[in-house]
């Protein structure tokens, strides 16, 4: 299995990072992707990925960190994106829930990083919070201009929590949908209904660790070893075995991020 979104570089893992990686392997999670949120974490995730086989990086600036975005930032990301362990640009996108960056700056950074992903032939990891319409509109425009090789694997809508209509537009644009711990929560019926309708070749599993811990560990720090709980929930929704869902989501991640 592959945890396609875990912030393994965050300080909440400082005391036991190697043990976290070992527990993941024991649970069958043999690969993971660490997305950045700013320039410092972009550097850190590349360094961390270089230290561990099976750990990969995504570089980018999260929308909440775009208030001072400039061309020098883009140059730094471009240099980091050349590292062989970098498999995506992310996490990038729009966030209207937190008032940490003006919308104009979020747009500017988002579109600049999408252009960077196109130049480097890398998929994108998309953060979207309370900004679905603008996010999908920008992505649809971007995808329309991509070369065929990247158009077939443009990226993932991370921790998908949008509507069925947004899911359908994202899928039509070629995106994969990632699902996290909330799919196991009691009140997540709408998200589960959407997940049940996603084609099997477009599903990804993520922890978003240390956040969004699945049941039965909700309330504790999340980690990649908990991916099987998300796999099991998705398998039940699609009426297939957990082993089959694990195989399919692994193949999907390998195809999207070029891990094979």
Q: What mean pLDDT is predicted for residues 66-74?
A: 95
The percentage of residues in the chain with a pLDDT greater than 70, rounded to a whole number, is 100
**How does 20-41 read in b/e, with b if 16+ C-beta sit within 10 Å?**
bbeebeebebebbbbbbbbbeb
pLDDT tens string 145-182: 999 999 999 999 999 999 999 999 999 999 999 999 99
User: Does position 40 have pLDDT exceeding 80, yes or no?
Assistant: yes
Q: Band of the pLDDT at 211, cuts 50, 70, 90?
A: very high
Which of 212, 183, 208 has its CA nearest to residue 62?
208
> Distance of CA 48 to CAs 51, 75, 118, Å?
5, 21, 24
> For residues 186 and 189, what is the distance between their CA atoms, to the nearest angstrom?
7
Question: At which residue do the structure tokens 């329309």 appear?
Answer: 144
Q: Supply 219's token pair.
A: 């309330």
Which of 231, 171, 198 has its CA nearest to residue 4?
231
- Is there a contact between 10 and 213 (Cβ–Cβ < 8 Å)? no
**Local structure of residue 66 (DSSP, 8 states):** -
User: Does position 49 have pLDDT exceeding 80, yes or no?
Assistant: yes
Angle at 109 between CA 108 and CA 113, to 5 degrees: 120
pLDDT score, position 148 = 95
pLDDT score, position 9 = 98
Nearby residues of 89 by Cβ (< 8 Å), 6 or more positions away: 58, 59, 60, 77, 81, 113, 114, 116, 117, 120, 122, 123, 124, 125
Nearby residues of 130 by Cβ (< 8 Å), 6 or more positions away: 95, 96, 97
pTM recorded for the entire structure: 0.97
**Local structure of residue 11 (DSSP, 8 states):** G
User: Does position 260 have pLDDT exceeding 90, yes or no?
Assistant: no
Q: Is CATH 3.20.20.140 the classification given to domain 2-257?
A: yes
Torsion sign (Cα): 70, 102, 129, 131: negative
Which of 26, 95, 56 has its CA nearest to residue 260?
56
């Amino acid at each position: 299995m592959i945890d396609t979104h875990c912030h393994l570089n965050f300080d909440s893992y400082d005391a036991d990072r190697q043990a976290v990686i070992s527990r993941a392997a024991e649970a069958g999670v043999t690969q993971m992707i660490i997305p950045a949120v700013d320039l410092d974490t972009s550097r850190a995730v590349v360094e961390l990925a270089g230290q561990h086989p099976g750990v990969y990086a995504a570089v980018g600036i999260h929308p909440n960190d775009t208030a001072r975005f400039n061309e020098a930032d883009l140059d730094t990301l471009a240099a980091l994106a050349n590292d062989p362990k970098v498999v995506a640009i992310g996490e990038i996108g729009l966030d209207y829930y937190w008032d940490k960056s003006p919308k104009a700056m979020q747009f500017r950074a988002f579109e600049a990083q999408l252009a960077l992903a196109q130049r480097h032939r890398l998929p994108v990891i998309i953060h979207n919070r309370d900004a679905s319409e603008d996010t999908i509109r920008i992505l649809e425009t971007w995808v329309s201009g991509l070369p065929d090789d990247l158009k077939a694997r443009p990226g993932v809508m991370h921790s998908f929590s949008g509507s069925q209509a947004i899911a359908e537009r994202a899928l039509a644009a070629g995106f994969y949908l990632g699902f996290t711990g909330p799919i196991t929560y009691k009140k997540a019926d709408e998200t589960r209904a959407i997940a049940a309708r996603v084609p099997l070749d477009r599903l990804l599993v993520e922890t978003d660790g240390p956040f969004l811990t699945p049941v039965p560990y909700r309330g504790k720090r999340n980690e990649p070893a908990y991916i099987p709980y998300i796999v099991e929930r998705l398998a039940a929704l699609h009426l297939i075995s957990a082993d089959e869902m694990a195989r399919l989501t692994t193949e999907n991640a390998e195809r999207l991020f070029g891990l094979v």
